[in-house]
Structure 1
Amino acid sequence: MFFNVLPIDSFFLLLRYGFFSSATMNEDLLHYIWFQKQFPLSPTTTAGEPLEIIDIGQPNSDAGPDVFNAKVKIGTQLWCGNVEFHVNSSDWFRHGHETDKAYDSVILHVVFNADCEVKRTEKGLIPQWEIAVPTELATKYKAIQTCRQMPYCADKLSSIQEITIRHWLNRLLIERLERKVNAVDAILAQTTNNWEEAFYITLCRNFGFSTNADAFEQTAKSLPLTILGKHKDNLFQIESLLFGQAGWLDSEKKDDYVQSLAKEYRFLSQKYQLRQPMCIQWKFLRLRPANFPTVRMAQFAALVHKSNRLLSKLLECKNYQEIRSFFNISAGKYWDTHYTFGKESPKRIKSLSESSVNIITINTVVPFLFAYGKKHGDETLQETALNLLESLPLERNHIVTKFRDLHLPAENAADTQAILQLKTNYCDAKKCLRCAIGCQLIKYI
């Protein structure tokens, strides 16, 4: 298809005088032109050879060239391989591609500004295409990139067909799960591929929720699950180990129970040669008492007391009801009348609420089930993870509320996880041209 295009000289004149800025000019525009096939008629390389795009290939979101398995014809020669995008040709050297053999497979370098020649590690020149920008697209792209509302498509979102949005949300959900799988991989690498230990650390982190997540993770990393497992039948000893590693048993405000915990911790910490984490910071300010880290840690201790084979037990769960039953725990008796050490409060059993279980399921259980299923080729387990999200109620936060007000469908936790992925990875980064909704809308701006 032929499009009116902005001549290269005119394009860079506008760039120079501010029609585009360095903030608005990026490789996403090249990505859009390439994958939407908005090519000018009879393109040529910078060497003047005729260029024909036969197959645009597949986008690559990982390290390496931007496009895999493309097919182009340059002059009379057919080329099959990868394609790389840059704003300027010199970015090839700025990114160090000339010494990276992963880029030796590049058959075409697509740029806005061919300011130099580029070479492979073997010193062979790579054909370049200085792409012309469709005039209308340049104007639309400028409008999107300079828009101040969030999301940038807010006033036009209702014009997109629901089937398009639904398909995109499904893709975003998998994208978000893949990102969480990468986080699981990182923890596995730290625990020498010990799935139980990795799950224990991640679960403990999420018992700190957003406010105390780092502090809970530090505590778990300083206290191996194998040590807790040796005392799984004794809640008092589990509490002494967790509270002691958290640094809470050093306080002067001690009642008889805390003094007993401290005495037990001194014995066990010497026995196992434990060291408390350095500079651990606990936050109580602006938290509801039920969310105090002391209460959450007591609940976590009760869960470990219930079963130290945490991941193995959850892998046996087939639905949310079984997971809810697994997390049906309450903190020890001391916490019925306490939110912090040494200060009594009206009696209230500190059970883990359904909303807390939902959050833990979304942020810990589902990612681990999905990651475990993927690593072990268990598609049923991956499907179980997805079904869990679809069975959970939608998350309540300002991001979800805003997108729901714009009529984006959000019926369950699977939808809200997709919306969070959309907001953080596309809207915030202004990657409108990599968003299925943005690609549709730019045609009608």
Structure 2
Amino acid sequence: MERLMQYVWQHRLLVQTDLVTVDGRKVSVIDPGRLNTDAGPDFFNAKVKIGEHLWVGDVEVHVRASDWHRHHHDSDKSYDSVVLHVVDKDDAQICRSNGEVIPQMQMACSPEFHIRYHELVDRADIDLPCARELPALTPLHLTDWLTSLAYERIYSKADHIEELMKQYAGDWEQTCYVILARALGFGTNSEPMERLAMSLPLHFLRKHSDSEAAIEALLFGQGGFLEKAPKCDPYVELLEREHKFFAHKFSLKPLQPLGWKMARMRPHNFPHRRIALLARLVATDSRLVRRIVEAENIEELRAIFSEPLTGYWATHFTFGPGSERTYECLSRSSVDILLINVAVPLMMAYGTMHGDEALCSRAVELLHEIPAESNSIVTLFMNAGIPCKNAFTSQALIHLRRNYCQTRKCLYCRLGHRLLAIRARRN
């Protein structure tokens, strides 16, 4: 409740004509002040007019006026700068440490506001409680917020790449290898793929780039797939021999179970072919980062991740019996997801760190060229009347859902703020 009151004060959602102190003096809020997240009064440097006098100082917010004494503010000199005490219940008179009475005001806010706040927040992580009201928002407010969210997501991914760069001593190829492995997990197996890549550094795998089978043996062996593979399969026997040799030579220790997920998954999405593609890209492309940042158009980028699988994995989804026909490794939509999660953030991070604004702009333009992702989050918002034509918007919606809805931060969402502000001002 107190946090909600702070929000109302901070964003000036009060009914200004109704503001009076408990002793009847009119209050006008010139500046609500700056929210303080540390010790001390809730808002610094506020400006409020009380009666005929302008006060400049701090503002403290409490549910009950008696909380002032309960929190021992009456004996704390850091609260002597408070010029207005904002409360929900006026159950006590409050004073500074020298005994001087502090003006006090009850919050004049619509009862509907508190109800609507809980209607939004209590179910925000389950469904979309604001869905029916979203179409009423103006396109300008919606577009402005989605644009901010898209950039927020792009920069957060770029920041993650910069952190990896520090971890790998500025090695762009190693960083790209790790984020590529994670992206190839396509959400379901992202964590195991990333942990597998981190356990086998790129420079180690590239020492054996003359043998794609050796790289596959290392990845499948460390990933725990060879233990349950059929022993009568000649390809499996080859990988086991290779892995046993490298494990002995380099003292490789088996990883803890990585938690691979394959239940209720179509064979095309099994991690085996994703690992095989990772091995192929490692074996055949030693300049992946340069190819990405120097690509002149979207088709060049798609070609990087559309590398066909040959040999065993051209006809297999897992170890064991294969098929008579060959299959492409990734669909066009899957390739586009790799562009979204690998190429775009890599271009943004590279452009930012090298001061290349043109490359940063290309990264953003790329998202506008890629069709919108098809997933439950995008569908949820589209059913609520929000159009989504490209990946720039779908990335914004994913960021909105994961970082605001599911964390119940409706107060910090511009859409939620606008809907709540309407209720706060109603009489």
Tell me which interval the TM-score lies in, with the shorter structure as reference length: 0.7 to 0.9
Q: Does structure 1 residue 33 correspond to structure 2 residue 9?
A: yes
Q: Which amino acid aligns with 2:109?
A: T
Match of 1:294 among 272, 292, 295: 272
TM-score, normalised to structure 2's length?
0.77
DSSP 3-state at the match of 1:275: coil
Which segment is superposed worse, 157-166 or 263-272?
A: 263-272
Residue 86 of structure 1, CA deviation:
7.8
After superposition, the C-alpha distances for 1:297-356 in whole angstroms (9 at most, x for unaligned) are 111111112213333331222432221011120223111222222322232134322111
Aligned to 1:145: 118
Equivalence map 1:228-243=2 (5 Å): 228-243=205-220
Matched length: 403
Q: Equivalents in 1 of 2:102, 2:246: separation in Å? A: 67
Q: Equivalents in 1 of 2:61, 2:159: separation in Å? A: 25
Aligned to 1:341: 319
Match of 2:400 among 418, 422, 425: 422
Question: In 2, are the aligned partners of 1:319 and 1:384 still within 8 Å (CA)?
Answer: no
* Counterparts in 2 of 1:35 and 1:378: CA distance versus 1, 3 Å: farther
Q: Which amino acid aligns with 1:244?
A: G
Question: Gapped runs of 5+ residues in structure 2?
Answer: 72-81
Question: In 1, are the aligned partners of 2:305 and 2:338 still within 8 Å (CA)?
Answer: no
Match of 2:288 among 272, 295, 310: 310
Aligned to 1:99: none
Q: Equivalents in 2 of 1:233, 1:114: separation in Å? A: 79
Equivalence map 1:26-425=2 (5 Å): 27-36=3-12, 38=14, 40=16, 54-55=30-31, 72=47, 78=56, 132-136=106-110, 138-146=111-119, 150-251=127-228, 253-254=230-231, 255-425=233-403
Q: Equivalents in 2 of 1:269, 1:115: separation in Å? A: 73
* Counterparts in 2 of 1:327 and 1:252: CA distance versus 1, 3 Å: closer
Q: Equivalents in 2 of 1:180, 1:66: separation in Å? A: 35
Question: In 1, are the aligned partners of 2:208 and 2:215 still within 8 Å (CA)?
Answer: yes
DSSP 3-state at the match of 1:344: coil
Residue 226 of structure 1, CA deviation:
0.7
After superposition, the C-alpha distances for 1:234-282 in whole angstroms (9 at most, x for unaligned) are 3222212212221223346132222222222222333333323212222
Q: Which amino acid aligns with 1:34?
A: Q
Question: In 1, are the aligned partners of 2:229 and 2:320 still within 8 Å (CA)?
Answer: no
Question: In 2, are the aligned partners of 1:173 and 1:415 still within 8 Å (CA)?
Answer: yes
Q: Percent identity?
A: 35
Aligned to 1:3: none
* Counterparts in 2 of 1:321 and 1:350: CA distance versus 1, 3 Å: closer
After superposition, the C-alpha distances for 1:407-445 in whole angstroms (9 at most, x for unaligned) are 212111111111122223333344333322233333167
Residue 392 of structure 1, CA deviation:
0.8
Question: In 1, are the aligned partners of 2:165 and 2:171 still within 8 Å (CA)?
Answer: yes
Question: Gapped runs of 5+ residues in structure 1?
Answer: 1-24, 95-105, 117-122
Aligned to 1:97: none
Question: In 2, are the aligned partners of 1:27 and 1:86 still within 8 Å (CA)?
Answer: no
Q: Which amino acid aligns with 1:319?
A: N
DSSP 3-state at the match of 1:284: coil
Q: Pick 1 or 2: higher relative contact order, CA cutoff 8 A, min separation 6.
A: 2
Question: In 1, are the aligned partners of 2:348 and 2:359 still within 8 Å (CA)?
Answer: yes
Q: Equivalents in 2 of 1:185, 1:86: separation in Å? A: 42
DSSP 3-state at the match of 1:135: coil
Q: Equivalents in 2 of 1:265, 1:191: separation in Å? A: 25
Q: Which amino acid aligns with 2:108?
A: P
* Counterparts in 2 of 1:70 and 1:363: CA distance versus 1, 3 Å: farther
Question: In 2, are the aligned partners of 1:318 and 1:384 still within 8 Å (CA)?
Answer: no
Residue 166 of structure 1, CA deviation:
0.8
Q: Equivalents in 2 of 1:143, 1:253: separation in Å? A: 59
* Counterparts in 2 of 1:252 and 1:335: CA distance versus 1, 3 Å: closer
Q: Equivalents in 2 of 1:68, 1:390: separation in Å? A: 41
Q: Equivalents in 2 of 1:214, 1:425: separation in Å? A: 19
After superposition, the C-alpha distances for 1:193-225 in whole angstroms (9 at most, x for unaligned) are 543322211210121112211211111011001
Question: In 1, are the aligned partners of 2:46 and 2:59 still within 8 Å (CA)?
Answer: no
* Counterparts in 2 of 1:63 and 1:416: CA distance versus 1, 3 Å: farther
Which segment is superposed worse, 232-241 or 197-206?
A: 232-241
Aligned to 2:79: none
Q: Equivalents in 2 of 1:365, 1:113: separation in Å? A: 55
Q: Equivalents in 2 of 1:244, 1:63: separation in Å? A: 50
Q: Which amino acid aligns with 1:234?
A: S
